[in-house]
Amino acid sequence: MNHDDLELTMQDYLDDRMDPAERAQFEARMVDDPDLAAAVAELAEIGDTLRATEDDLPERFYADTRARFEAERAPRRIHDAFRWESVGLLAAALVVAAILLPVVWKQGLFLSSPPEATKARPTEALGDARVRQDPAVVDEIRVSDAVDAEREESPAAVPFAPSPPDDVVSDRDLAGRKDEKKAAPDREGALAKEKAHEPEPLEEQVESEYEERIASNVPTDAVEPGRRAETVPSPPSTAGADAPAKMSRTRNQAVAESDDKSDAARDNFADAESFGVGQSFGPRGAAIPAGVLPESAVIDVPGADAWKRWLTRVGGLGAERLSPRFPDERVVLIGPRPDPLRCDRIVALPGGNIGVPVSPSEAGDRGGCAVVVPAGGAEIEFLHHEGAR
Amino acid sequence: MREPSGQSGVQSIDGARAERETARLLQAVRRGDPEAFDRIAREHAPRLFRLAVRLCGNRDEAEDLVQDTLVRALPALTRFEGRARLSTYLVRSLTNQWKNRLRSKSRSRLVPWPERRADGPDGPSAPAEFPDDAPSAQDRMESSDRAAEVRDAVAKLEPDRRLALLLREVEDMSYEDIAAMTGVPVGTVRSRLARARRDLRALLGGRS
């Protein structure tokens, strides 16, 4: 009997897959071969040890799991409700239409032509008097009309650009609007004005903003040689700050105000520190492509066990990349958001501050990122582009 | 001999009641009821965790694996075919999730990470220490008994062999059930088990 056969035979004995005759024969053989008997005993003991070890789940596991279930089911419930509501509304609309249609038809409302006044283009109605007074105005109106018509005819010609949130206006936008007010109302000015309204292609806008930041603010020694290029891949912009960014900036401001050493400021600083803000990033950063993050925006994980648990829970990916040394380094998790979030490698910002380029991700789950930060005083800034996708 | 038969009758009534209750809870879970989810999770999580902690080699990852399994698999179960089948379904989901994670880990070298790191301002650079599947040194210190030793060794087994061994030893599944769950012939299960046990003995210092 070769070695493999022996292993299989021992296993059949242990797993009770022998008939009585084979079993008796094998037991007799074990009596003659103490090594074989020891090997079988060892295998049996290993099995017993594997089965006997108790591993209790902590109570927090159930709370966490339930919370995650609720969080993940919530959007679906909303979706379901919306779907049924939509079906109901559609049915109601059809019923109303079926009732009203004969009445409308009887009264012949479909046959009446619209009033002539409504056919006139607003610019023509508005411009009649002005055209008679000043021929230059005619040119201006014609240019505007031409651009309007072009827009209406070829909507695809307008380059895609994300619309920033209504409540967020960048400095560039404000400057552009001021310039527009100053522009002369001649033909070229009108064209320039229309051009100014066209959004810059996303990548150019992002790159130029980023280059501006680097060129104007970042000290040359603040960024490692050859590092700028590798930290640019995501489209960073300060215009579309999201909720986590807002939170972090608020806390950063609190950190800045803590210079007066007042008790209140010290409290603020302590609060900020507990969230991982007010610390500088080291030369390391890692993105976790997707995963469910805890319901907080920024979390500083202070202990080795805690960070391992968090990171494992966050995405199952990337934990092996982070090896902070406590207490000198900490892990900061960034997220969650209603849409997936992707972090790129961190960049140095002026004053020793650190930027984290974040952008929406195509990942199918809510995402976020984790970074290792050494203890320190620099601020964290999120370079977020809301519309990038 | 009325007593045993009476007990059996009570047990079957209890069993039927439990089946109905589980079916009702699963329906509620599909509707998004967290209470129902919590009840089923509490019933099945300990067993799943027992398997997961041996598959993963550490508690944190095992917790996450069980959580993923419960959160994803329970709402996705559209047909209830009995409590035993539910248990098997969850074990199968857990092992699938675990395999997916192994695959993801093998592909997860997407983000560049420095191979060396500075110890301090003036200190020398040292290789980065990335945790592997095996329990950390701290974990080992905390439980340096035979169980931890065996768990360490199991965590080092080749994944397919590890899974077969744990389904057999921890879940007490038959070769046929393991074959059905892992999608391989019974003969393959038998050889995987034998190799897993041989490797385990070798890792634990026994005769190979």
**pLDDT for the residue numbered A329:** 62
**Lowest-confidence segment of A12-16, A228-232, A350-354, B76-80 by average pLDDT:** A228-232
The most confident of the ranges A76-90, A316-330, B124-138 is A76-90
Residue B72, min C-alpha distance to chain A (Å): 8
**pLDDT for the residue numbered A176:** 41
Give one DSSP letter per residue of A95-149, joined into a string.
HHHHHHHHHHHHTTTTTSPPPHHHHS-HHHHHHHHHHHH-HHHHHHHHHHHHHHH
Mean pLDDT over B13-25 rounds to: 81
Answer yes or no: are the C-beta atoms of A213 and A239 closer than 8 Å. no
pLDDT (tens digit per residue) in B145-162: 788 888 888 988 989 999
**pLDDT for the residue numbered A212:** 43
Residue B17, min C-alpha distance to chain A (Å): 25
Q: In this complex, do B45 and A10 lie within 8 Å of one another by their Cβ atoms?
A: no
ipTM of the complex: 0.74
User: Searching chain A, which residue's CA lies closest to the CA of residue B66?
Assistant: A65
Cα–Cα distance measured from residue B167 to residue B180, given in angstroms and rounded to the nearest whole number? 12
Mean pLDDT over A202-228 rounds to: 34
Confidence of residue A338 (pLDDT cuts 50, 70, 90): low
Q: Among residues of chain A, what percentage have pLDDT more than 90?
A: 1
pLDDT (tens digit per residue) in B174-188: 999 999 888 899 999
Q: In this complex, do B105 and A308 lie within 8 Å of one another by their Cβ atoms?
A: no
Nearest CB to B201; choose among A42, A69, A320: A42
**Cβ contacts of B45 on chain A, cutoff 8 Å:** 57, 61-62, 65
**pLDDT for the residue numbered A88:** 79
The DSSP symbol for A260 reads G
Cα dihedral A139/A140/A142/A145 (nearest 10): 180
pLDDT (tens digit per residue) in A108-160: 655 544 444 444 443 333 333 333 444 443 343 343 344 344 444 333 333 33
**pLDDT for the residue numbered B38:** 93
Residue B9, min C-alpha distance to chain A (Å): 31
Mean pLDDT over A1-23 rounds to: 85
The alpha carbons of chain A give a radius of gyration, in whole angstroms, of 34
**pLDDT for the residue numbered B37:** 92
**pLDDT for the residue numbered B193:** 93
**Cβ contacts of B204 on chain A, cutoff 8 Å:** 42, 46
Q: In this complex, do A46 and B150 lie within 8 Å of one another by their Cβ atoms?
A: yes
Residue B91, min C-alpha distance to chain A (Å): 16
Q: Please confirm whether the linkage preceding A336 is cis (ω < 30° from 0).
A: yes
**pLDDT for the residue numbered B49:** 92
Q: Among residues of chain B, what percentage have pLDDT more than 90?
A: 27
pLDDT (tens digit per residue) in A274-290: 223 322 223 334 444 44
Q: In this complex, do A7 and B146 lie within 8 Å of one another by their Cβ atoms?
A: no
Q: In this complex, do A50 and B71 lie within 8 Å of one another by their Cβ atoms?
A: no
Confidence of residue B194 (pLDDT cuts 50, 70, 90): very high
Provide the sign of the torsion angle of the four alpha carbons A28, A33, A34, A35, taken in this order. negative
Cα–Cα distance measured from residue A306 to residue A318, given in angstroms and rounded to the nearest whole number? 15
pLDDT (tens digit per residue) in B125-144: 333 333 344 444 554 444 45
Residue A282 structure tokens: 């080291």
**pLDDT for the residue numbered A57:** 86
Count of helices and strands (H, E) across chain B: 9, 2
Contacts A–B by Cβ distance under 8 A: 152
**pLDDT for the residue numbered A272:** 27
Mean pLDDT over A155-167 rounds to: 32
Burial of A363 (0-12, 13-18, 19+ CB in 10 A): middle
Full strand arrangement of the beta sheet holding A368-374:
A286-288, A368-374, A329-334, A298-301
pLDDT (tens digit per residue) in B109-130: 333 222 333 333 433 333 333 3
pLDDT (tens digit per residue) in B55-105: 888 888 888 899 989 998 888 887 777 766 788 889 999 998 888 887 766
**pLDDT for the residue numbered A315:** 46
